[in-house]
Amino acid sequence: MRKNLGFRYTLPALLVMSVFTVIPLLIVLSYSFMTKSSSGGVIYQFSLDAYRTIFSKEYAQVIQNTLQITFLATSLTLLIALPCAYYMAQSKRKEILMLIIIIPFWTNFLVRIFAWKAILEANGLLPLLLMKLNLIAEPQSFLYNRTAVILVLAYTSLPFAILPLYNAIEKFDFGLLEAGRDLGCSHMCSLRKILLPNIRGGIIASIIFVAIPIFGQYVVPQLIGGGAKGTYMIGQQIANAFFQERNWPVPAAFTTLLMAITILGFMIVRLRSVRRVRLLQKRSRAVTQ
């Protein structure tokens, strides 16, 4: 009887996951292999046209733009998040700093994006500040370019990078840094050779939490990029195919591709983690013998 209790306890969760997660994903997957209907929707006839479309030359530039923006925005986010998380982990006011990080979640996402538009537009706060400092002669807009898109994407993703890094750094034994410096390692050398390898799990989690949502972003490139050259991303292409072209199999194929990339990323991270644990166990057994 006791053996069946575990399954009974997890059955409600399995049902919820099946109804609200697995079944919708299977529907999206099946739509990607169907034929486009001229009036919207799909015709229940097997076709690979959607996959031929997303791997065509026309869509290659969109995928390239998306990968470049994702890489640059994720790198910028990590560069900002690492020192923030390090400072938080050593601070005596962790609760207050944590609250400052979480506060942006209380504000609507669109409100935050429009706030950035107000800062970067021609009569916004940034041009006025630069004019006061005599760095520019007349008001100019900093919107509708790739740099603005990357900057705002990094801002919106920052809490998702700081929290996993903070969790990893807080568990780190800072005495190891002092030991490294006593052995002749400089401050930067001890951070690079001792701290970073020991918080690898937090860094990988941050990359996953940041890169995957950025890869499918729609709102930021649409409002901040405005369709300018080099800012068009896959999320906009999916919305365009769904609402304007009414070609449902194409966005379904894009979504399937994103899911496949995400699952592949998780599998790679998982395999690397398992190999690392086995290597550590092997070294531990060798030392004890």
Chain segment 227-273, per-residue pLDDT in tens: 888 889 988 888 888 888 888 898 899 888 888 888 887 788 788 87
Annotate the chain with DSSP letters as a single string: -HHHHHHHHHHHHHHHHIIIIIHHHHHHHHHTTEEEPTTSSEEEEE--HHHHHHTSHHHHHHHHHHHHHHHHHHHHHHHHHHHHHHHHHH-S-HHHHHHHHHGGGGS-HHHHHHHHHHHHSTTSHHHHHHHHTTS-SS-----SSHHHHHHHHHHHHHHHHHHHHHHHHHTS-THHHHHHHHTT--HHHHIIIIIHHHTHHHHHHHHHHHHHHHHT--HHIIIIITT-TT---HHHHHHHHHHTS--THHHHHHHHHHHHHHHHHHHHHHHHHHHHHHHHHHHHHHHH-
Provide the pLDDT for residue 39: 78
Provide the pLDDT for residue 4: 64
Please determine, for residue 221, whether its predicted confidence score (pLDDT) is greater than 80.
Answer: yes
Provide the pLDDT for residue 289: 67
Provide the pLDDT for residue 13: 83
Using a pLDDT cut of 70, give the percent of the chain over it.
Answer: 98
Q: Where is pLDDT greater, at 145 or 18?
A: 145
Q: Where is pLDDT greater, at 61 or 280?
A: 61
Provide the pLDDT for residue 123: 87
* 50-74 average pLDDT score: 90
Please determine, for residue 43, whether its predicted confidence score (pLDDT) is greater than 80.
Answer: yes
| The amino acid at 56 | S
Please determine, for residue 79, whether its predicted confidence score (pLDDT) is greater than 90.
Answer: yes
Please determine, for residue 25, whether its predicted confidence score (pLDDT) is greater than 70.
Answer: yes
Chain segment 93-143, per-residue pLDDT in tens: 888 998 888 887 788 889 999 999 999 998 889 999 999 998 888 888 999
Chain segment 177-202, per-residue pLDDT in tens: 888 888 888 888 888 888 898 898 89
Provide the pLDDT for residue 283: 75
Q: Where is pLDDT greater, at 63 or 69?
A: 69
Chain segment 150-184, per-residue pLDDT in tens: 999 999 999 999 999 999 999 888 888 888 888 88
Q: Where is pLDDT greater, at 127 or 2?
A: 127
